[in-house]
Structures are given as C-alpha cells and as structure tokens.
Amino acid sequence: NGLAGSLPVQMQYLRRLEDLILPFNAKLIDTASLDGILPLSLLKHLELQYCGMEGTLPDDIGNLQALTFLGLGNNFLDGTIPESFFQLTNLQVLGLDDNLLQSPIAPFAKFINIEKLYIEDNELTGQITEEMIRNGWQKMIDLDVSVNRLVGPIPENIWSMLNMEVLDIHGNDFIGAIPEIEVIHDKMMFLAVNDNTLEWKIPETISNLINLAHLDISANNMVIPFPSTMNQLSNLRSLYTGINNFEEHTIPSFLEGMTNLKELSMKQNKLTGTLPSFLGGLTELQVLDFDFNMLEGNLPSVS
C-alpha cells in the first residue's frame, strides 16, 4: 500500500484489537506513534515491517504481553532495546531484522516460547551460551542471528534444538569448531556458518543432518579436508566452501553423488589439477563457481 503519516493516538481505544497488520508502507509511521498501540492488551499479532520507522523502541513496549507475533524488521530502528521488551515471553515469532538495534544477545533467551527468531543485521553483542539454548530456545525452528557482533564458540548443545530447520550465524566472530552432531537431525534444512573464524574441520557427523539442503562454510579457517560422510548429504541443493585453508587442493570426489546440487561454489580454495568428468553429470547445476583457483585443462562435457 501507500499509507503515510502516523498511527492515530485514538488506536488506543480499540481495546479488543488482536491483529494489526500494516507492513510495506514506507511512509507510515515513526516510533512515537507506537504509543497509541501500547494500551492494546489483547493485541497478539503486530506487523510493521518495511514502514520506514526511525528512532528507538518505546520503554513501555513490554506492556503488549499478549503478543505472539511481532514483525518490526527492515526499518531504521536504533538505540538500545529496552528491558521491558524482554517481558514479551509469549512471543513465538519475532522479527527485528535489518535495523540498527543494540543489545546483548543473552536477554533473548527469556523468550521461552520462541519458534522463529529473526534478529539478523543489527548490532547485537555477546555470546550464545549452552544455558540460553537449554533454558530458553528448545522450541526454536528458525534462528537467524547473522551479521551482528557475536563472539565465542558455537555452543556444544546447539543441535539439541531438534525442531530447528534454519540456523544462520554467518557474519559474526564465532570461533572454534562446528560441534559434533550426535543425533539424527531430520528437520535441519539450512545451515550457514560462513564469514566467521571457525577452524579445523567439518565434523564427520554432518551426515546426521539428513535433510540438509543448504550448507555454507565459506570464509572461515577450515583446514582438514571434507569428511567422507559428506557423500551422505544427498539432499544438498547449495554448497559453498570457498575462502578456506583446506590442506587438500583437489576437487573432492563426494561431489559425484550430489546429483541434486543447483549451486556449487569452491572459489579461492587453492584448488589444482583438472575439472573431474563427473561434474558434467551434475545436470541440475545452475551456479558453478571455481573462481580464483589454479585449475587447468578442459571443461567436462555434460552427460
């Protein structure tokens, strides 16, 4: 739509209102006009994404105790997230993505009913701990904390969130190794850990992510070559491994069985030798990126 202006303060008299859905109105609102919404104690669903909102979240936003869905992504919100915000413990879906909000990550564990948490592209700090996952995030389905200022290792119990389908932590400063995946994880489809400082290797138990469709480990400090169990990830559609320090500099043979691959990027991995003929059999490929390597020879024919 093309709505403009601020929400009228008279909104506060709609005391039975449960759903307010006004996204994609780029000139609709500033944060001051949220004041008219704060008295709406029955409001469960609020969407104001892409509304051009500027300023800070109101201190009393925690009054909206009934909220289960809150979408404020892709605005120009800034400043510190107020403490009262973390009293919204009925939230199941929260989108604060693509703003300039500041907060430690730890208080987000208070959202014990959260299933989908989109807080990427902000200025969040601190470390995701095992306690946060154990006590707060066991219902998680989608977790996107990418492009923030998070540090430390990936918690060892990250895979205990057995309902998780999406884990995106790229663009932070996570260190150490990807934890072992001790159980079959049949829900996980999207894993992005790229652009961190992860090192050492991909765990052999990566094969326990049996329905994984997207894997991005690029731009880290991986050293040990791919585990042999990679060939069990037959559902992979996208694989990005570029800009690492792998000790092995040949194109891995497990790719021969990846017949569902649509996107493959192994750029800047110091690859040498020729392109294997089996690449011609990956007929679903739409993107093939071996840029900035030292490969030679002819392109394989498509079979």
Report if residue 102 sits inside a domain: yes
Report if residue 244 sits inside a domain: no
Report if residue 143 sits inside a domain: no
The total of structural domains in the chain comes to 1
The values of phi and psi at residue 130, to 5°, are: -60, -35
| pLDDT higher at 276 or 299 | 276
Report if residue 227 sits inside a domain: no
**pLDDT band at 26; cut points 50, 70, 90:** confident
CATH number at residue 59: 3.80.10.10
- Ranking 132-146, 165-179, 288-302 by mean pLDDT, the lowest is 288-302
The answer to whether residue 77 scores a pLDDT higher than 90 is yes
Report if residue 222 sits inside a domain: no
Dig out the tokens for 289 from the structure: 């990126």
pLDDT value, residue 36: 86
- List, in order, residues 6 or more apart from 116 with CB less than 8 Å away: 92, 93, 94, 95, 140, 141, 142
Question: What is the DSSP annotation of the chain?
Answer: ---BS---GGGGG-TT--EEE--S-TBS--GGGGGGTTT-TT--EEE-TTS--EEPPPTTGGG-TT-SEEE--SSEEEEEPPGGGGG-TT-SEEE--SSEEEEESGGGGG-TT-SEEE--SSEEEE---HHHHHHH-TT-SEEE--SSEEEEEPPTTGGG-TT--EEE--SSEEEE-PPP--S---S--EEE--SSEEEE---GGGGG-TT--EEE--SSEE-SPPPGGGGG-TT--EEE--S---S--S--GGGGG-TT-SEEE-TTS--EEE--GGGGG-TT-SEEE--SSEEESPPPPP-
Report if residue 266 sits inside a domain: no
pTM: predicted TM-score of the whole model, two decimal places: 0.95
| pLDDT higher at 29 or 162 | 162
| pLDDT higher at 257 or 142 | 142
Its domain, for residue 108, covers 1-126
pLDDT value, residue 85: 98
Report if residue 7 sits inside a domain: yes
Q: What are the pLDDT digits (tens) for 167-194?
A: 999 999 999 999 999 999 999 999 999 9
pLDDT value, residue 225: 85
Mean pLDDT for 155-176 is 98
Mean pLDDT computed over every residue of the chain: 95
The answer to whether residue 3 scores a pLDDT higher than 90 is no
Mean pLDDT for 125-148 is 98
The answer to whether residue 284 scores a pLDDT higher than 90 is yes
The answer to whether residue 163 scores a pLDDT higher than 90 is yes
Mean pLDDT for 49-71 is 95
pLDDT value, residue 129: 98
Report if residue 220 sits inside a domain: no
